[in-house]
Amino acid sequence: MTSPNDKLAAARKAAADAAAALEAAEKEAAQAQAAAPAAQSGGSDKAKAIAAGYQSQGAALELGAVIVDGTIDSQALVRIPLATINRHGLVAGATGTGKTKTLQGIAEQLSRAGVPVVLADVKGDLSGLSAPGEANDKIKTRATETGATDWSPAGSPTEFVSLGTGGIGVPVRATITAFGPILLSKVLGLNETQESTLGLIFHWADTQGLALLDLKDLRSVIQHLTSDEGKADIKGIGGVSPATAGVILRALVNLESDGGDTFFGEPELDTKDLLRVVGGQGVITLFELGDQAARPAMFSTFLMWVLADLFQTLPEVGDVDKPNLVFIFDEAHLLFADASKAFLDQVEQTVKLIRSKGVGVFFCTQLPTDIPNQVLSQLGARVQHALRAFTPDDQKALTKTVRTYPKTDAYDLEEALTSLGIGEAIVTVLSEVGAPTPVAWTRLRPPRSLMGTIGNDAIKSKAQSSQLFAKYGETIDRESAYEKLTARVAAEPEAAQQDQAPAAPKQERGEESAAERIMKNPAVKSFMRSAASAAGREISRSIFGTGRRR
């Protein structure tokens, strides 16, 4: 039985423990408050001077507020003029620093400004763009700190699309012919010699009017050109090495096993469907991997095909008050990893020239060094989240990054880049007159949409109720290279038998001649149709060797 003295001692110990815990909690809260940047409305002279470089006469995207010496100035705002968005940009930073939420905020503001957005949802965490956010004290505090006094939850019109038929979004596809040899070589992981051979194969198919719609079409063309019958067809423009053809065929089989057979085919995506505005808001098209998770390079390469197709089809517009479309490449390192020189050259050319079509391109990755220098030099806006410098290579990347920023007296950039908090970034963009803005340590505004996912069932329901589903939901397999080459092979024995047959007697009235019988052969008729209309189906190839039939 416990004595009264024991009970009293236990009560005293419990009270002492509670007091110690309370003291520790108060100390931790005080430390956190001291470490966090303080918000103020008056602002320092440095913050005001930095913000003056971001003033804009026209419409602009509001990124956040300036931080100087640990103090947030809610009136010193950092923004990107809409008129310079088509000068492209970079969002970079280590994992967990807030890049995805930055992309979310940029995309929803563009949508509200009436600008359609194409966004790669590589990690599957951007579906919240379609739903209003959830207000709480943390969100309201950040909104107040960053000058977003009118913050309120709001979603954006969103389309969910998937590469191939294995995803939960509207299935989108491209034909092999339109995708072109350079992009396909990137997906297949071919070297430059193999890429050159693949280009030769495409050229032969183009001149023969053979539509390469899906993987079996390309396989049948390669097999034909390496057969005894096909060698003569390509002899005039150079042969196809059986060893190189074997490598390409094995790569095609591997791609097919990874789900590529559901991606290449028809109906092919009409890129004009990405330029839609609904109720004054631009539609945000979210691309998800679908069954291509085993081959993520397909994802970014497909988006590059879409960009190349837009470059080929959109008219020149010059400088515009706001872009016609903005592309955001998340996990951009996948686009450039192991890329051939031809591929990199075409990316550089696209980024340089697509601006005049009214299209802006943003790359998102962990390190700026993931982007080739010739492409990086074309990017006008920089939103750099925190970098980590744990290894010598990290330190080297940090030093290189610091050298790419304009000089600043307000910050020690090397220290700042490793000290940024979550949802903070070092920013510099192009002003309305095209000059770099001052470097700004920025507390970024919170998105108005849901900072989370809406769930696969909701995504699937939205996709199937979309008007795009009626257009792209069902796969079409029309006559193409595979069927035509198969028919040609089947027709050859019959033609040989007719050549060996004894001469026919003089034709009686009403009796068909051998020539008429041959011309009625379905395979021969198909081949003649192909030859007769080859000029009408000539491939017009543009950047990346992409092409559409005229």
Has residue 439 been placed in a domain?
yes
Q: Which helix (H) or strand (E) holds 539?
A: strand 539-541
pLDDT digits 0-9 by tens, 58-67: 999 999 999 9
Regarding whether 397 and 349 lie in a shared domain, the answer is yes
Using DSSP bridges, classify how beta strands 117-120 and 60-68 pair: parallel, antiparallel or unpaired: unpaired
pLDDT value, residue 500 = 54
pLDDT at position 17 is: 66
Q: Kindly state the DSSP code that residue 113 receives in the 8-state scheme.
A: T
Q: What is the pLDDT of residue 523?
A: 46
What local confidence, expressed as pLDDT, does residue 508 receive? 47
Whether pLDDT at 368 is above 60: yes
Task: Give the integer Cα–Cα distance in Å for 9 and 460.
Answer: 62
Q: Between 488 and 127, name the one with better pLDDT.
A: 127
Q: Could you say which of 454, 485, 507 is where a domain stops?
A: 454
3-state secondary structure at position 41: coil
Q: In degrees, to the nearest 5, what angle opens at C-alpha 205 toward C-alphas 204 and 210?
A: 150
2 domain residue, yes or no:
no
Give me the DSSP letters along 501-531.
Answer: SPPPPPPPTTPPPHHHHHHH-HHHHHHHHHH
pLDDT of the residue at 217 = 93
Position 37 scores a pLDDT of 53
215-225 helix and 481-500 helix, angle to the nearest 10 degrees: 40
- DSSP conformational letter for 172: E
pLDDT digits 0-9 by tens, 387-429: 988 888 888 889 988 988 989 999 999 999 999 999 999 999 9
Confidence band, pLDDT 50/70/90 cuts, at residue 30: very low
pLDDT at site 31: 47
The reply to whether 285 and 410 lie within a common domain is yes
pLDDT band at residue 14 using 50, 70 and 90 as cut-offs? low
pLDDT at 256 over 90: no
Q: Quick one: which of 155, 99, 96 has its CA closest to 127?
A: 155
Per DSSP (E only), the strands in 422-538 are 424-428, 440-444
Percent of the chain at pLDDT > 70 equals: 80
Task: Kindly report the CATH number assigned to the domain that includes residue 305.
Answer: 3.40.50.300
- The pLDDT of residue 506: 45
Q: What's the rounded Cα separation, in Å, for the pair 451 and 448?
A: 8
Q: What percent of the chain has pLDDT over 90?
A: 53
Alpha-carbon distance of 148 to 140, in angstroms, equals: 9
167 shares its domain with 191: no
Predicted confidence (pLDDT) at residue 436 exceeds the cutoff of 50: yes
Domain count, the chain: 2
In a domain, 98, yes or no: yes
- 421 contacts: CB under 8 Å, gap ≥ 6: 36, 37, 386
- In the Cβ-directed half-sphere of 219, how many Cα atoms lie within 13 Å? 15
Burial level of 292, CB count in 10 A (0-12/13-18/19+)?
A: buried
Contacts of 13 (CB under 8 A, 6+ apart): none
Highest mean pLDDT among 285-299, 400-414, 496-510: 400-414
pLDDT for 363: 95
Check pLDDT > 50 for residue 520: yes
Instruction: Assess whether pLDDT exceeds 70 at residue 15.
Output: no
**HEC letters along 372-385:** CHHHHCCCCEEEEC
Measured at the CA of 106, the angle between CA 299 and CA 116, to 5 degrees, comes to: 65
The range of the structural domain enclosing residue 213 comes to: 176-262+475-495+516-549
Is 445 contained in some domain? yes
Same domain, 407 and 301: yes
Q: Residue 507: what pLDDT?
A: 47
Residue 428 lies in a domain: yes
Q: pLDDT value at position 450? A: 96
152: which residues sit within 8 A by CB, 6+ positions away?
Answer: 135, 448
pLDDT at 496 over 70: no
Give pLDDT, residue 525. Answer: 47
Task: Please give the mean pLDDT across all residues of the chain.
Answer: 84
Contact call for residues 488 and 527 (beta carbons, < 8 A):
yes
Going by their DSSP bridges, the two strands 117-120 and 158-163 should be labelled as unpaired
What is the spatial distance between Cα 501 and Cα 246, in angstroms, rounded to a whole number?
Answer: 39
- pLDDT at residue 550 in the model: 43
DSSP secondary structure letters along 181-243: HHHHHHHHT--HHHHHHHHHHHHHHHHTT----SHHHHHHHHHHHTSHHHHHHHGGG----HH
> Per the domain annotation, does 222 fall within a domain?
yes
Tell me the β-bridge partners of 223.
Answer: none
Q: Does 332 share its domain with 201? A: no
Mean pLDDT is lowest, of 12-26, 445-459, 493-507, for 493-507
- pLDDT (tens digit, 9 = 90+) per residue, 228-243? 877 777 776 667 888 8
C-alpha to C-alpha distances, 21 to 12, 13, 29, 33, nearest whole angstrom: 14, 12, 12, 18
Whole-angstrom distance, CA of residue 484 vs CA of residue 526: 7
- Report the range of poorest mean pLDDT among 24-28, 132-136, 389-393: 24-28
- Residue 83 pLDDT class (50, 70, 90 cuts): very high
Q: Is there a cis peptide before residue 446, judged by omega within 30 degrees of 0?
A: no
Q: What was the pLDDT predicted at 449? A: 97
* 449 and 104 Cβ atoms separated by less than 8 Å: yes
Task: Give the residue, 347 or 292, on which the prediction is more confident.
Answer: 347
Same structural domain, 302 and 394: yes
In this predicted model, what pLDDT tens digit does every residue of 183-237 receive, in sequence order? 999 999 999 999 999 999 998 898 888 889 999 999 999 998 888 877 777 776 6
Query: Is there a domain that residue 295 lies in?
Result: yes
CB 323 within 8 A of CB 115: yes
Provide the pLDDT confidence category of residue 486 given band limits of 50, 70 and 90: confident
- Mean pLDDT to the nearest integer, 303-332: 91
Mean pLDDT, range 77-103, rounded to an integer: 95
Residue positions counted in the chain: 550
Do 68 and 139 lie in one domain? The reply is yes
The answer to the question of residue 91 being in a domain is yes
**pLDDT at site 535:** 37
Q: Are residues 193 and 149 in the same domain?
A: no
State whether 93 and 167 are in the same domain. Answer: yes
209 neighbors 221 (Cβ within 8 angstroms)? no
Which of 248, 59, 74 has its CA nearest to residue 148?
74
256, 188: one domain: yes
Tell me: pLDDT of 493 over 70: no
- Whether residue 243 is found in the same domain as residue 290: no
Mean pLDDT computed over 279-283? 97
181 and 323 housed in the same domain: no
Instruction: Note the pLDDT of residue 330.
Output: 87
Query: Which uninterrupted H or E stretch holds 171?
Result: strand 170-172
Q: Are 544 and 180 in contact (CB under 8 A)?
A: yes
